Amino acid sequence: MSEVEGHRDGDRGYLCAFLSAGRPATNMSTSPEHVKCLIIGSGPAGFSAAIYAARADLKPLMIEGPLPGGQLTQTTEVDNYPGYPKGRSGPEMMNDLREQALRFDTVIRNGWVTKVDFTGPVHKVWVDEKTEIHADTVIISTGASAKWLGLPNEIRLRDIGGGVTACAVCDGFFYKGQNVVLVGAGDSACEEATYLAKLCPKVYMLVRKGEFRASKAMVHRVENTPNIEVLFHTEVKDVLGEHAVDGVLAVNNKTGEERKLDVTGLFIAIGHTPATEIFKGWLDMDEAGYLKHEADRTSTKIPGVFVAGDAADKVYRQAVTSAGSGCMAALDAERWLAAQGKH
């Protein structure tokens, strides 16, 4: 593990700050380190929780997780986060959030939480399977990751910002006036197709079965949007284009018939996977793995354990809503500690 204490980290760039900052973990004693507030995950929810927790003097320790900075480090421009009138790249935005968390008393460490034990009043967490940490409060902000089709050209164009994305609300604006393909048949896909249809002259919606999985109301919205063309039994065979999407080769999985769709964007809406596996058996979650919390609160069924961001949100999934829930989790943690006489 490497560690960055709560101070300004100079002018180092994002990758430098994330990959090589700090020094080895300093806790060399045999008894586990004890912190008031442990934050798991380093997306907008985690950093917002850190900023609030640090300013409340909870001296938070953040364990970054396998993808420091979270999903936004894999996006290009972010134009819908308030406070950036000219937009900001995802990695730059995450670096801004990180710098802000470091301005106060936050300690950020590389590492991956691999096990938890929420049996006792003190919550036990293991980092990289070996380092045990004890925490009075835990804020889970482990996020979720979009599912992809797994086609080589899809992944290549996604990684170079070449027109393959999994968030219509984030990226739809860039395709205003252009034709796009959207893949999926659930509620997200229907919502995103109707969103895109307001910006794009034509939205091809590729559904691999002969029916939708979405609720009737959502399907009704799609069916009543004239510029959405639903292609049932249809899958993506290949994504065309060297540096940017220049078409999608679709195939009918019943007849084998292929068709080139003239589009410049490919939106994938085939579901997300919340990173909540290690909490199975400890916390309540829905069938897809999204963590449950109290209504109007971020508290889970374990006292002192709170959840923020996409790990508990399958509906909104935006950076700004994640950041808001991170703030809420830190406030809930602080109030809970105060009520326990621990802060």
> What is the contact surface with ligand NDP in residues (CB under 6 A)?
149, 183-189, 191, 208-209, 213, 235, 270-272, 314-315
Q: Any bridge partners for residue 35, and if so which? A: 135
User: Toward ligand NDP, which CB reaches closer, 220 or 342?
Assistant: 220
The DSSP annotation for 277-336 comes to GGGTTTS-B-TT-PBP--TTS-B-SSTTEEE-GGGG-SS---HHHHHHHHHHHHHHHHHH
Q: How far apart are CA 98 and CA 81, in angstroms?
A: 16
Choose between 150 and 177: whose C-beta lies nearer to ligand NDP.
Answer: 150
Q: Is 16 a catalytic residue?
A: no
**Catalytic one of 105, 136, 171, 310:** 171
- Of 141, 125, 127, 122, the C-alpha closest to 304 is 122
Give the C-alpha separation, 82 to 319, whole Å.
10
Cβ of residue 141: shortest distance to ligand NDP, in angstroms?
19
Q: Assign 32 to helix, strand or coil.
A: coil
- The DSSP symbol for 96 reads H
Residue of 37, 105, 170, 310 with catalytic role:
170
Cβ-based nearer residue to ligand NDP, 251 or 270: 270
Residue nearest to ligand NDP (CB): 186
Q: Please, what is the minimum distance in Å from the beta carbon of residue 220 to ligand NDP?
A: 13
**Could you say which DSSP state residue 111 is in?**
-
- Judge whether 128 counts as a catalytic residue: no
CB of 192 to ligand NDP, least distance (A): 9
Nearest to ligand NDP of 64, 191 (CB atom): 191
Active-site entry in 37, 167, 190, 327? 167
Nearest distance from residue 167's CB to ligand NDP, in Å?
11
Q: Known catalytic residues?
A: 167, 170-171
